[in-house]
Structures are given as structure tokens and as C-alpha cells.
């Protein structure tokens, strides 16, 4: 059976000591709870996998609807002795935009975990690598804790990247190109808003998850999930602060643009004020009518030039005295 024809991305049976071994589709069909904890990672766009979830997944209708939904927000609920959870993670795939977050849907029972997603999720690869190295989860609850931790690490990296970009923008406001900086700032603000939009309901989903009674999560695992929820709260606060800093930076950019425009208008006003009386003199002496003084005097031009120069110097001196220059 080729990899593309398989029902699952991977089917792993935990050994209870941090490791796991891969199972074939036939072995998955023969699996029972007595064999150990089974993790099935499914491709949501795989029609055969969707059919298997409907016909052989042994999942409640509500939970199955969540796993197969095309679009959904982070949420959690309990059904039939299991937990269904939807979380979001940073899209780390090549060429992807970080704020285009990927969704993972998880069904957790005491002896079985089913994860469903459409795009590749690096945090799931981290869990697989941990199992391959013998340091992975030993229970379904530990699986959830470890996966949530890997998702949080990438969210933290994305939030820190946003903060660093804003710090750089703040330092570049005084010397950088305003048009380029405004475009970058807009992109950073959109990224922060997109990430925060998913973190708030994800924090609520984790808070609800640890309140469901049952045998899936132990007390220590519940405590760790609560800590992950606190981490999400801190990331949300950091994003809120980043958005406020972005607004401050935008105001500084607008102030700089306004100051530059005012400076240009001020220079133009000074130049216009100096040349206005000179233009009046040249316009007056340039009238093509008889009787203008100096028209027959060979020194008329020199006298007119001297008057205009003296008038210009006097105006500049007046402006300096008034501290307008």
C-alpha cells in the first residue's frame, strides 16, 4: 500500500515509556484498547479518511462534526467519555504567511487520540520526533499537553517577532522612508490582529477543557494545561501592547509627515513674503505707461536694483529679528 493510499498520515501505538511504533491500516483495524494508546493522524481532505471517521471512528455525532468541519474557531467540549478540541497554530509551512494560522482538531479518549488537519502542522511533527526519540507522551493527556506546548512555542516566537519588528520600526521612524515604514507597520498590525483573533478563543477553550470531569486528564496534566492557558493570556497581553505601540508609532509617523509639510510650507511662505514686495516693485516699474520715473535716467536700473536689494535685505533682517528664520 502506497503512502498516498493510506488512511492516515501516521498511526502510532504508544509504548507507555515515551516511544511508539508505527501501525499499518490493517493493524489499526485490529487495535483494541488493551493494546495501548493509539494516535491516528488524519488528513481532512482525504475522502477515505473522512469515510473511516464516519463509519469506523466510533465517535459521537457532535464530536465527529467538529472533526470534519471545514471552518471552525478554537473550542472544546466533552462527549461520551472523550474530549474534542480545536486549536490554532502558527503556519510554518514554506511560503506561508505566519498570521494564516493552521487549525488542528483533536479527539481524545483514555486510550485513543485522533488528530485531523488539512495542512501540515510542525507541532505534530515535533510530537512524532519526540516519540521517535523515546521522550514523547506516555498517555493521551500527556500528548495534549506536549502538543499544546509546541503550539505555544511557535506562537511565542511569532509574538516576539512582531515585537522586534515594532521596535525596529520605532527606531527607523526618524530616518526611514515613511511610505515604506507605513506599509510595514500596516502589515505588522494585521498580523498581530489575526493572531490575537484566534488566541482569545483558544485560551477559553483550554480553560473549559480542564473543567470537564473524566479520566482523560490527570491532575498534573490539568495543571500543565492551565499553565499553557496562562501563557496564552500573556501572549494576548503582549499582542495588545504591540497594537498600542503600533498606534503610537503610526502617530509618530503622521507627526513627522505633518512637521515636514509644515517646514516646507514655512519655507515657501518666507520666500513668498520676501518676493512679494519685490514683485510689486518690478510690476509697478514694468507698467507700459508714460511718466514712470527713471525711464530716461541711465542709472534708473541700478537705482531700482539697489532699492529691491535693500528691501529684500530689510525683510530678511526683520524676519530674523522676529525669529521667523
Q: What angle do CA 201, 75, 204 make, to 5 degrees?
A: 40
- Among 268, 249, 256, 208, smallest CA distance to 232 is for 208
List residues bridging with 86 in a β-sheet. Answer: 75, 105
Residue 101 has a pLDDT of 82
Residue 272's Cα: distance from chain center in Å? 49
String of DSSP letters for 199-237:
HHHHHHHHHHHTTS-SSSS-HHHHHHHHHHHHHHHHHHH
Domains of the chain: 8-256 (3.30.460.20), 266-321 (1.20.58)
C-alpha 92/C-alpha 105 separation (Å) is 18
Q: What angle do CA 235, 143, 25 make, to 5 degrees?
A: 130
Q: Which residues of the chain have pLDDT under 70?
A: 1-5, 93-99, 174, 176, 213, 215, 289-292, 294-295, 325
pLDDT tens digits, 109-158: 999 999 999 888 899 999 999 999 999 999 999 999 999 999 999 999 98
Tally of CB atoms within 10 A around 24: 13
Query: In angstroms, what CA-CA distances link 53 with 20, 61, 116, 117, 198?
Result: 22, 11, 10, 13, 26
Distances (CA, A) of 298 to 133, 185, 291: 104, 66, 16
Counting runs of H as helices and runs of E as strands, what totals does the chain give? 8, 7
Compute the distance between CA of residue 279 and CA of residue 272 in angstroms, rounded to an integer: 10
pLDDT given at position 268: 84
Total residue length of the chain: 325
CB 170 within 8 A of CB 245: yes
Look up the pTM and report it: 0.77
Amino acid at each position: 500500500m502506497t503512502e498516498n493510499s493510506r488512511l492516515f498520515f501516521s498511526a502510532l501505538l504508544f509504548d507507555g515509556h515515551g516511544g511508539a511504533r508505527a501501525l499499518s491500516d490493517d493493524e489499526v483495524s485490529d487495535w483494541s484498547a488493551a493494546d495501548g494508546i493509539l494516535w491516528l493522524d488524519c488528513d481532512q481532505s482525504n475522502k477515505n479518511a473522512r469515510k473511516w471517521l464516519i463509519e469506523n471512528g466510533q465517535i459521537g455525532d457532535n464530536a465527529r462534526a467538529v472533526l470534519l468541519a471545514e471552518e471552525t474557531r478554537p473550542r472544546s467540549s466533552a462527549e461520551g467519555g472523550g474530549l474534542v478540541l480545536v486549536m490554532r497554530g502558527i503556519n510554518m509551512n514554506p511560503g506561508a504567511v505566519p498570521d494564516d494560522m493552521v487549525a488542528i482538531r483533536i479527539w481524545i479518549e483514555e486510550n485513543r487520540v485522533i488528530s485531523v488537519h488539512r495542512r501540515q502542522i510542525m507541532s505534530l511533527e515535533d510530537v512524532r520526533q519526540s516519540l521517535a526519540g523515546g521522550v514523547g507522551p506516555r498517555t493521551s493527556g500527556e500528548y495534549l499537553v506536549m502538543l499544546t506546548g509546541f503550539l505555544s512555542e511557535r506562537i511565542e516566537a511569532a509574538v516576539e517577532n512582531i515585537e522586534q519588528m515594532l521596535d525596529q520600526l520605532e527606531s527607523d521612524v526618524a530616518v526611514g522612508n515613511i511610505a515604506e515604514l507605513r506599509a510595514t507597520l500596516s502589515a505588522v498590525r494585521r498580523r498581530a490582529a489575526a493572531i490575537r483573533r484566534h488566541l482569545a478563543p483558544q485560551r477559553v477553550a483550554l480553560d473549559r477543557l480542564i473543567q470537564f470531569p473524566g479520566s482523560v486528564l490527570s491532575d498534573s496534566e490539568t495543571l500543565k494545561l492551565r499553565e499553557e492557558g496562562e501563557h496564552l493570556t500573556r501572549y494576548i497581553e503582549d499582542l495588545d501592547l504591540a497594537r498600542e505601540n503600533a498606534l503610537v508609532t503610526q502617530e509618530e509617523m503622521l507627526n513627522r509627515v505633518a512637521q515636514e509639510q509644515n517646514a516646507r510650507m514655512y519655507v515657501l511662505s518666507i520666500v513668498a513674503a520676501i518676493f512679494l514686495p519685490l514683485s510689486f516693485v518690478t510690476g509697478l516699474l514694468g507698467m507700459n505707461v508714460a511718466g514712470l520715473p527713471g525711464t530716461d535716467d541711465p542709472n534708473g536700473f541700478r537705482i531700482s536694483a539697489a532699492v529691491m536689494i535693500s528691501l529684500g535685505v530689510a525683510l530678511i533682517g526683520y524676519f530674523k529679528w522676529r525669529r521667523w528664520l
